[in-house]
Structure 1
Amino acid sequence: MSAAPGHRTSADPTVGRLIHTVLQPGFAGSQRPPDWLTAAVERGLGGVVYFSHNIGDVATTRGLSDRLHDAGEVLIATDEEGGIVSRLGARDGSQHVGAAALGRADDVAATREVGGAIGADLRASGIDVDLAPVVDVNSNPDNPVIGVRSFGATAPLVARHAVAYAAGLQSVGVAATAKHFPGHGDTAVDSHVGVPRVDASLEVMRERELAPFAAIVSSGVRAVMTAHVIVPAIDPRRPATISPTVLSVLRRDLGFDGVIISDALDMGAIRDTIGLGEGCVQALLAGADVLGLGNPVLGADRPDKDLRVFTEAYDALLHAVQDHRLPVDRLEEAAERIDALRAWRRAQPTSVAAGTSADRSVARRALARRGAVTLPHGPLQLLDVRRLRNVAAGALPATTVQAIVEAHPGSTITPAFALPAAVEGHADRDDLIARDDLPVADVIVTGSPGHDVVEDEQRRKALAANPDALVVVLGYARGDEPLDGARRAIWTFGDSVPTARAVAELLAR
Structure 2
Amino acid sequence: MTVDRRVDQLVHTVLQPGFAGLQEPPRWLADAVGRGLGGVVYFSHNIGDVETTAALSRQLHDLGDVLIATDEEGGIVSRLGARSGSPHVGAAMLGRVDDVDATRAVGTAIGADLRASGIDIDLAPVVDVNSNPSNPVIGVRSFGATPQLVARHAIAYAEGLQSTGVAATAKHFPGHGDTAVDSHVGLPRVDAPIELLRERELAPFAAAVRAGVRAVMTAHVILPALDPSRPATISAPVLSMLRDELGFDGVIMTDALDMGAIRDTIGLGEGCVQALLAGADLLGLGNPVLGATSPDKDLQVFTEARTALVRAIDEGRLPVERLEEAADRIDALRRWRQSRSADLPMIDRSADLSVARRSLATRGSIQIAPKPLQILDIRRQRNVAAGALPALTVQAVLDTAPGSSVTSAFVLPDAVEGHADDSEFALRAGLPSAGVVVTGSPGHDAAEDEQLRAALAVSPNALVLVLGYATGTEELFGARNVVWTFGDSVPTAAAVTHLLQ
The TM-score bracket by the shorter chain reads over 0.9
Deviations 1:79-111 (A, max 9, x none): 000000000000011000000000000000000
Partner-residue secondary structure (3-state), 1:430:
helix
Aligned: 1:317 with 2:309: yes
The residue type paired with residue 193 of structure 1 is: V
2:331 aligned residue (336, 339, 354): 339
The residue type paired with residue 299 of structure 2 is: L
The answer for the alignment partner of 2:269 in structure 1 is 277
The answer for the alignment partner of 2:456 in structure 1 is 463
The answer for the alignment partner of 1:410 in structure 2 is 403
The separation in 2 between residues aligned to 1:90 and 1:423, in whole angstroms, is 7
Q: Which segments of 5 or more consecutive residues in structure 2 lack a partner in the other structure?
A: none
Matches within 5 A, 1:228-307: 228-307=220-299
Please state how far the C-alpha of 1:11 moved relative to its aligned partner. 3.6
The separation in 2 between residues aligned to 1:321 and 1:205, in whole angstroms, is 35
Identity among equivalent pairs (%):
73
The answer for the alignment partner of 2:178 in structure 1 is 186
The answer for the alignment partner of 2:72 in structure 1 is 80
Please state how far the C-alpha of 1:245 moved relative to its aligned partner. 0.5
Deviations 1:335-374 (A, max 9, x none): 0000000000000123537832300000011000001101
1:450 aligned residue (433, 443, 453): 443
The residue type paired with residue 481 of structure 2 is: R
The answer for the alignment partner of 2:152 in structure 1 is 160
The answer for the alignment partner of 2:373 in structure 1 is 380
Partner-residue secondary structure (3-state), 2:226:
coil
The separation in 1 between residues aligned to 2:82 and 2:398, in whole angstroms, is 20
Please state how far the C-alpha of 1:10 moved relative to its aligned partner. 5.5
Deviations 1:305-361 (A, max 9, x none): 000100000000000000000000000000000000000000012353783230000
Answer whether contact 1:123 1:352 (CA < 8 A) is retained: no
Partner-residue secondary structure (3-state), 2:422:
coil
Please state how far the C-alpha of 1:435 moved relative to its aligned partner. 2.0
The answer for the alignment partner of 1:114 in structure 2 is 106
The residue type paired with residue 478 of structure 1 is: T
The residue type paired with residue 136 of structure 1 is: D
2:427 aligned residue (425, 431, 434): 434
The separation in 2 between residues aligned to 1:267 and 1:479, in whole angstroms, is 29
Matches within 5 A, 1:328-367: 328-350=320-342, 352=344, 355-357=347-349, 358-367=351-360
Aligned: 1:399 with 2:398: no
The answer for the alignment partner of 1:211 in structure 2 is 203
Please state how far the C-alpha of 1:425 moved relative to its aligned partner. 4.6
Please state how far the C-alpha of 1:481 moved relative to its aligned partner. 1.6
Please state how far the C-alpha of 1:57 moved relative to its aligned partner. 0.2
Answer whether contact 1:136 1:150 (CA < 8 A) is retained: yes
Aligned: 1:505 with 2:498: yes
The separation in 1 between residues aligned to 2:476 and 2:138, in whole angstroms, is 21
The residue type paired with residue 118 of structure 2 is: G
The residue type paired with residue 463 of structure 1 is: L
The residue type paired with residue 472 of structure 1 is: L
Deviations 1:414-436 (A, max 9, x none): 00011121354521111111123
1:369 aligned residue (353, 358, 362): 362
The residue type paired with residue 79 of structure 1 is: D
Answer whether contact 1:21 1:45 (CA < 8 A) is retained: yes
Answer whether contact 2:139 2:469 (CA < 8 A) is retained: yes
The answer for the alignment partner of 2:122 in structure 1 is 130
The separation in 2 between residues aligned to 1:416 and 1:83, in whole angstroms, is 23
Task: Say what the alpha-carbon RMSD is for the aligned residues.
Answer: 1.1
The residue type paired with residue 312 of structure 1 is: E
Aligned: 1:20 with 2:15: no
2:319 aligned residue (314, 327, 338): 327
The answer for the alignment partner of 1:6 in structure 2 is none
Answer whether contact 2:382 2:389 (CA < 8 A) is retained: yes
Answer whether contact 1:389 1:427 (CA < 8 A) is retained: yes
Aligned: 1:69 with 2:69: no
The separation in 2 between residues aligned to 1:354 and 1:296, in whole angstroms, is 37
The separation in 2 between residues aligned to 1:61 and 1:187, in whole angstroms, is 35
Answer whether contact 2:88 2:489 (CA < 8 A) is retained: yes
The answer for the alignment partner of 2:84 in structure 1 is 92
Q: Which segments of 5 or more consecutive residues in structure 1 lack a partner in the other structure?
A: 1-8
How many aligned positions are there? 500
The worse-fitting range, judged by mean Cα deviation, of 228-237 and 400-409 is: 400-409
The separation in 2 between residues aligned to 1:104 and 1:479, in whole angstroms, is 15
The separation in 1 between residues aligned to 2:132 and 2:196, in whole angstroms, is 14
Partner-residue secondary structure (3-state), 1:236:
coil
Deviations 1:269-306 (A, max 9, x none): 00000000000000000000000000000111100000
Answer whether contact 1:10 1:321 (CA < 8 A) is retained: no
Please state how far the C-alpha of 1:390 moved relative to its aligned partner. 2.8
Partner-residue secondary structure (3-state), 1:63:
helix
The residue type paired with residue 394 of structure 2 is: V
